[in-house]
Structure formats: structure tokens, C-alpha cells
Amino acid sequence: MTMAAVSSFPNRQQATSDDVDFLAARYLEAEKAAAEAYRIALDIDQPHERLKEELILLSDDLGIPTEPHTKLLRGSAHEVLVKYCVGNLLDHEAVNAFGNMLRRKGVRGLFSQVFQGTMQWQLRSDAGEFLKQVRLTAELQNLYDRCRRVERTPTLEVQRIPVSRPLECPLFVP
């Protein structure tokens, strides 16, 4: 969703200072209500998460394995089934160190059975400055421009202006 898609004004160019104050006041009210809702949800969720953790630990210690990566714990009226999701994450630095050691040790036939060759390029930190001095073809410039993506994520701070504080910038004028 774009910022334009959520605008309350068909033509923001015609918004007045009253419109800014109206929206800012509504925003602060909504923010206060959301903060209270999050606080209540957190107060409810914390004991819930502690109970969940306790049941998982209890099942891990006393549960009976029923399937791979699964444990079952039964009480008189309830049963707890804990399924462990197993995933493999690769540490690329560790893989490189392992590969380099295999190559150095010269273990015959093992390296080609364990590794496949890939090549990945990384831009140097000073590439942008250097390329400003070079005339790239349009095709190359387009590809280079796609290498670095800049995303703009807006943040918003809204507060009431204290009456005692002098204006640091002029009032909103359309």
C-alpha cells in the first residue's frame, strides 16, 4: 500500500493547517489506543508464553517420542504434543573453512563429492565513487543502478505543540 493510497484528502495540495491539526489529533488518539491495546496484549501474552515454555520443557524431559522430532506428554485430562521443526542453516564462513581445509589436506575424491563450484561477486565499498569517473554504457549503468536498492521507509513522530515553546518553523501554509 502506498502512502497516497491511505490519504484522506483527494487533493493534498489544498489541505489547510486545520486539516493538519485534525489528522495529527486523530493520529495521537489512535496511537494512544493502540499503545494501550499492545500493553494489554503483552500483559496477557507474557504468562501465556511462560506456560508454553514450561509445557515444552516438561514434554522434552518427560514426553514419549511418537514420531521423529515429536514428543507426547499425557495428563489425566490433557495431552501435550510437541513437534520440533528441524532446519538446516549453513554458515558460509564455516563451509569455506571446511572446504579450504579439505583442499589443503588433499583428501582424494572427497572434495568434488562434497562441494560444487560457484562464484559470487561483491561490490567494493568505493565502487560508486570510481564508477562516477567512468562512462558506462546505458545497459551497464542500468545493471549497476539495480545493484544497490534504496528503500525509503517513513517514520512518523506526532506531538502536541506546547504553548510556551516558540515556533521553530512557520505555520503550515498550503
What is the block-wise mean pLDDT of the chain (174 residues), using blocks of 10 residues?
53 85 93 96 95 90 88 86 80 82 77 79 84 88 80 64 59 48
Report if residue 44 sits inside a domain.
Answer: yes
CA distance 38 to 44: 10
Report if residue 37 sits inside a domain.
Answer: yes
Domain range for residue 69? 15-87
Strand partners, 162: none
In 27-157, where do the E strands start and end?
Answer: 64-67, 70-74, 79-83
DSSP symbols for 41-59: HHHHHHHHHHHHHHHHHHH
Report if residue 97 sits inside a domain.
Answer: no
Report if residue 28 sits inside a domain.
Answer: yes
Report if residue 136 sits inside a domain.
Answer: no
Report if residue 31 sits inside a domain.
Answer: yes
Residue 151 parent element (H or E) = none
Provide the sign of the torsion angle of the four alpha carbons 24, 25, 26, 27, taken in this order.
positive
CA distance 59 to 4: 51
Report if residue 51 sits inside a domain.
Answer: yes
pLDDT attached to residue 172: 46
Report if residue 7 sits inside a domain.
Answer: no
pTM above 0.75, yes or no: no
Domain count, the chain: 1
